[in-house]
Chain A
Amino acid sequence: MTSESIFSLLGTLTPQDISFVQTFENPVMSEFIDGAAGSVLVVGMIIVVGLLTYYRGWKTLWFDWLTSVDHKKVGIMYIVVAFVMLARAIIEGVLMRYQQSIAVNDPGILTADHFGQLFSTHGSIMIFFMAMPFITGMINYIMPQQIGARDVSFPLLNAISLWLTAAGAALVMISLVVGKFSTGGWTAYPPYTGIEFSPGEGVDYWIWSISLTSIGSTLTGVNFATTIYKNRAPGMTLFRMPLFCWTSLCTSVLMIFAMAPLTIATLMLALDRYAGFHFFTNDLGGNMMNYANLFWLFGHPEVYILILPAFGVFSEVISTFSGKTIYGYKSLVIATMSIAVLSFTVWLHHFFTMGQGANVNAIFGIATMLIGVPTGVKVYDWLLTMVRGRIRLTTAMLFSIMFLVTFVIGGLTGVILANPPVDFAVHNSLFLVAHFHNMVIPGVLFGMIAGYQFWFPKAFGFRLAERWGKASFWCWSFGFYLAFMPLYALGLMGAMRRTVEWFRPEYLGWLQVSFVGALLLFSGFLFLCVQLVVSIRQRDRRRVPAGDPWDGRSLEWSNSAPPPEYNFAVIPHVSGKDAFTQMKQEGQAYASPSAYEDIAVPKNSIVAPVIGIAAIAFGFALVWHIWWLVALSFLAMWGAVIARSFVTDTERVIPASKVRADHEAWLQQVRECTTTSREQEDTNSNVGRAEVLA
């Protein structure tokens, strides 16, 4: 470490760090899997580049997407990142389940080191590069439309956040081919992750990918909160906002306050590793308990950052597909806010066993159980929304109902874990693994899939194939129960998490069932992909140009599908909750506005991609100690920001005549559309104009 020159061209990087070279030099199963994973990545990249070239897509990609600052396109790009990362992390999950299911009195196919990398990348990706981009993308796409805004408050900042997150994800992907990732888990506790016990590049990959995305998320939080406070349409008071906007607001507030502890914790860990500081070391006054403290000061609110937007999606989906306004709107808002506040009072339950006093544990245990109260309020509100509603069991609705059942079970095991004495017994066991998967899979993933099914027609103009969506739903549901219920039993039998090999034959049956569940979960993901491909092929039959395929209740359904880049030809005036339902019932929907105005939209900018690419270089250079590249990429990032501040011509004006022509043409099209009853929702007669019931 210390002997290398700071002027070295490639830092500590050597040819042996390339995963294919390792596979070649040491041809065992574990290395083959690593090499194969790297090959999939490289081949995948080559195929993407080839297809882009073949279909002449580079121009479209660059001008319509990568440089775009339109919140809708940024949102879609976030979700694309989330899907790509989900594909990798879910395969890793299946691989780990396979290893554990065969590794009873047998070493299995993976080395301990490789297994360590797998659970570290699986966790880090699922939280930071799957769930976070998914919720951020969803909020990005939907929230401004629901509050009647034309964009977020800071469109360019939005694109920069996206690129910082994507840069973090890229670093995790690069670690598949160049070097190794951390083996310290997604939490990366020191002193194990300190330089003394983890001398390689792995932990550095973790540190810099997480740091980049944490800065991106802080900026996202600032952006969303400002948008919701300052960009609402006239009449859209806070208490008229759809619940998804409320949960977005709470999530943004949590991002603003909770990301900083993570940024600081990773920075301190980096200083320990790179510069010999003593924040978390065993000697010279370091205190590794402070790391656990800081990490969970971020980590617990993070759970609610992820889950609250999903709660918002469920509120919208359940209300829409029950054909009723949401039950207990105000109680849901208050419950959301309570959860946001309480989320900062419970972080200590992640380390009950660390050695603080019994009274401290008791207080945090009680606070933890308290969170069950507002969550319970929400569950009852959702149930009561369905009572006497005309329920349509679409894919999105099925995911929401399965969420209710499964999430309550997970919540109950959470209350069990909130008892410090019980926690001492099952701490770090598979019981815990089962618990948090039981919260996050139904709570976040089902929510995001439901939102994806629900809003896909809005974003792309055609409905997804319900048949494949339902197939996927059954796989996800049964897969979840088969994969994770056995882990509860195993945890109570004493099986610890992150174990690469077992010596208790009675575990075998449970682990094999769990592996079958993992395969089903993977099939669920595959069916989602099939659904997408099938729907794209049948897109001409599935179009919903009128933009309201589900008899939607909030403003985003009032414009075309896909919406124009300025969202609203004329900013709507809102006079109540469920604004669009009200407009439809009063016959105000699709009425021609009396006057149009010029609309200024932000111009595309090259700044965000420049910062993103420089951020990848910055992280990579820090990992491999390539100091000249660190300096260069740092200057590039800030140079781009400063250069941008000299650009005055940042907006493009769409003249009122153009807006009028486009909008009137669309309105004419809508008026010619036949209306669809709810029974016909899933047929091709649904072109996005809902039948209005008196």
Chain B
Amino acid sequence: MKREPLLHPGLNLGSTDEYAHNEAEPVIFGFWVFLMADLVLFAILFATYASMSVQGQADGPTPTDVFDLPSAFIETMLLLASSITFGMASLALKYKADGLHLVFWLGLTFCLGAGFVGMEVRDFWVMTQEGAVPQRSGFLSAFFLLVATHGIHVTAGLFWMIVLLVQLRVLGRTTAVKLRLMRLALFWHMLDIVWVCIFTFVYLFGVAQ
């Protein structure tokens, strides 16, 4: 039977694995579609934040009062670096036959991601201590929901990474595991883009006002 032309060249499954490429088609495409739905969710949260960040302050703390820009900048760098290391992991998946490179880059990504989540939790803690709790105003409710939704996504990504590291060990580099790594990579890069938007529109715009 004649195969349809491949629509996703350059998949990181190994260079000559045609069967796996065919299997990858619907799975990767479906995950892109899911990510779109997830991005709509973030778009709604951004819109809500935009409508409440100024009008919903209720004489409480303003963005300038509570945002710790240096900390947010370090978080940005951690997450951007983790995207690079995940990119290296994807390349290792395709070109390095030994598992060591892959595990190393995934491990590094995990550490950077965990560092990001840790610093974000610390930021939230500091804000809470200053009385900037979500119960204080509409602005803070919208802020915490938007940023924490992203943080929960990253945390979920970390758990996912642990599961896949275990699977690499238990199941080996099967097509299923490779496809899962590719989907996690897409997920991780998307979260990076969302964070760039959060850093720009929430933190930088907030402090610039």
Contact = CB atoms under 8 A, between A and B. Distances in A.
A1 interface: no
A285 B55 contact: yes
Given A256-B37, A279-B141, A648-B174, A226 B44 contact: no
Given A260-B44, A284-B136, A646-B167, A268 B30 contact: no
B145 A222 contact: no
22 contacts: A226-B33, A230-B25, A230-B26, A230-B29, A231-B26, A256-B37, A257-B40, A260-B40, A261-B44, A264-B44, A271-B141, A276-B134, A278-B136, A279-B52, A283-B58, A284-B137, A285-B137, A285-B141, A286-B141, A290-B51, A645-B167, A646-B171
B170 A225 contact: no
B30 A226 contact: yes
B52 A277 contact: no
A354 to B, nearest CB: 14
B113 interface: no
Contact of B145 (A154, A261, A268, A281): A268
A286 B171 contact: no
Contacts of B129: none
B135 interface: yes
B30 A154 contact: yes
A230 B29 CA distance: 8
Interface string A230-244: 110010000000000
A279 B37 contact: no
Contacts of B26: 153-154, 226-227, 230-231
Given A278-B135, A285-B139, A645 B40 contact: no
A536 interface: no
A642 B159 CA distance: 10
Given A223-B30, A281-B138, A284-B60, 4 more contacts: A226-B33, A257-B40, A279-B145, A297-B44
Contacts of A279: 48, 52, 138, 141-142, 145
A278 B167 CA distance: 42
Q: Which 5 residue pairs are nearest across A and B when measured between Cβ atoms?
A: A285-B138, A285-B56, A285-B58, A226-B30, A277-B141
A256 B33 CA distance: 8
Contact of A277 (B37, B135, B176): B135
A290 B30 contact: no
Nearest to B30: A226
A645 B162 CA distance: 13
Which among A221, A261, A263, A279 has the greatest number of chain B C-beta atoms within 10 A?
A279
Nearest to B180: A645
Contacts of A532: none
A294 interface: yes
Question: What size tier do the contact residues of chain B reach?
Answer: 35 or more
Given A218-B37, A268-B145, A284-B137, A278 B30 contact: no
Given A256-B37, A283-B58, A277 B134 contact: yes
B163 interface: yes
Given A260-B44, A279-B138, A229 B36 contact: no
A259 interface: yes
B45 interface: yes
Contacts of B44: 260-261, 264, 294, 297
Given A154-B30, A268-B145, A648-B174, A260 B37 contact: yes
Contacts of B95: none
A231 to B, nearest CB: 7
Interface in B95-121: none
Interface in A138-182: 153-154
A233 B132 CA distance: 57
B145 A256 contact: no
Contacts of A281: 138
Contacts of A275: 134-135
Nearest to B56: A285
Contacts of A264: 41, 44-45, 48
Most chain-A Cβ atoms within 10 A of its Cβ — which of B25, B36, B44? B44
Nearest to B48: A290
Contacts of B76: none
